[in-house]
Amino acid sequence: MLGNMGKPDPLSLSHADRIREAVRANFELGTEIVIMVSEVECQSPGCPPLETVVAFWTDEGRHRFKVFKPMSEFDDGDLPWKWLRRSLTVPEDYVDDCC
């Protein structure tokens, strides 16, 4: 997570790297595939204070999923099954105004 001054927190970066590598292995993604991992504060009623958002891009398009817990609590059991990869594709005109 980035602080107010835009300086990355080393602990958050290590969690992001761990998640990124788990996603890469789970979906059998090559090293050329960009995987973005971020921790965001949820402002919607009923959702947890912090959630982890994962996005990656393949020839199929952008894929995305959320885990409703902070990066520090993310474990391999939170990963979607490999065969769900295509269902994680986000339509180009999709607007996310919720969870």
Residues in the chain, overall count: 99
* CA atoms in the 13 A half-sphere facing the CB of 35: 22
Phi, psi angles (nearest 5°) of residue 82: -55, -40
- pTM score above 0.85: no
Q: How far apart are CA 26 and CA 85, in angstroms?
A: 10
Task: Kindly calculate the radius of gyration of the chain based on its CA atoms and give it in whole angstroms.
Answer: 14
What would the pLDDT profile of 78-91 be if each residue is shown by its tens digit? 999 999 998 999 87
Give residue 33's pLDDT: 96
Please give the structure tokens belonging to residue 12.
């958050």
Higher-pLDDT residue of 45, 7 = 45
Give residue 4's pLDDT: 45
